[in-house]
């Protein structure tokens, strides 16, 4: 089980990770919210531990950002703030649990194990989430995010984006796209595919230096950060 810890107290962070690793977890530690959000774009974790008062992006805002595309991975807030208003704020942002510092590590372990027991394979959204650099596609909810911002797509745009993403960087031809996205329900001699690729580029790539949708001349299209 992989845990990602957001904690800017270097001593506490190291001690927590050592404790968790001694109990058969892997633990990665991050010291600021901005780096934490970058870390989860290309890595999968089973549980998040978030301190609130951390640099750059606080733990509550990190929690809210995670929940914008991941409803299921358990989140425990660990904070020195113990007022009911602080706890209410955390649970409003869909945290699963809240532990006030200082706390016994054994109590944290009990809460972690309790949350992980509730997480059945059917709860996991991993197979329904596709990540390509800072692009996140939630297939279940039919939502797309880039750099944490939701991008509104039509149904066909979404289906085309999913097909490109599931190719995992491989080039797909116009014919393959028409077969899988439109199922031959339109004249393949038209420029519909090119039109929709352009629609996607305007929404996915236009405002970003790093372009994800590429053309391989004479072969087709692919989705990749490279």
- Token pair 């054994």 in the structure block, residue: 106
Q: Would you say the pTM of this structure is higher than 0.75?
A: no
CA-based nearest residue to 138, from 68, 35, 200: 68
Alpha helix ranges (H) inside 47-204: 59-67, 84-92, 105-118, 155-166, 174-177, 192-200
Angle between helices 155-166 and 192-200 (to 10 degrees): 90
pLDDT of residue 126: 54
Q: Measured between alpha carbons, how far is 173 from 220 in angstroms, rounded to an integer?
A: 4
Torsion sign over Cα 39, 40, 43, 46: positive
* Domains along the sequence of the chain with CATH: 2-119 (3.40.50.2300), 129-223 (1.10.10.10)
Report residue 195: phi and psi, to 5°.
-60, -45
Residue 119: its pLDDT value, please? Answer: 63
pLDDT at 128: 80
pLDDT of residue 124: 43
* pLDDT lower than 70: segments of the chain: 119-127, 184-190
| pLDDT for 70 | 84
pLDDT attached to residue 34? 94
Residue 34's φ and ψ, nearest 5 degrees, are -65, -45
């Amino acid at each position: 089980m992989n845990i990602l810890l957001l904690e800017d107290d270097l001593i506490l962070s190291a001690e927590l990770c050592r404790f968790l690793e001694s109990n058969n977890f892997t633990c990665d530690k991050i010291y600021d919210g901005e780096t934490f959000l970058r870390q989860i774009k290309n890595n999968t974790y089973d549980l998040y531990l978030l301190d609130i008062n951390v640099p750059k992006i606080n733990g509550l805002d990190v929690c809210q950002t995670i929940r914008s595309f991941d409803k299921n991975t358990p989140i425990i807030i660990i904070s020195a703030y113990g007022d009911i208003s602080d706890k209410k704020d955390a649970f409003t942002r869909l945290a699963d649990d809240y532990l006030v510092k200082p706390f016994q590590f054994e109590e944290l372990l009990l809460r972690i194990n309790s949350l992980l027991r509730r997480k059945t394979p059917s709860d996991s959204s991993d197979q329904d989430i596709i990540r390509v650099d800072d692009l996140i596609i939630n297939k279940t909810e039919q939502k797309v995010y880039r750099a944490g911002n939701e991008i509104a797509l039509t149904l066909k745009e979404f289906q085309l984006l999913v097909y490109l993403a599931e190719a995992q960087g491989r080039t797909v031809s116009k014919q393959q796209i028409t077969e899988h996205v439109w199922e031959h329900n339109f004249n393949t001699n038209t420029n519909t595919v090119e039109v929709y690729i352009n629609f996607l580029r305007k929404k996915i790539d236009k405002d970003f230096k790093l372009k994800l949708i590429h053309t391989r001349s004479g072969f087709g299209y692919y989705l990749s950060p490279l």
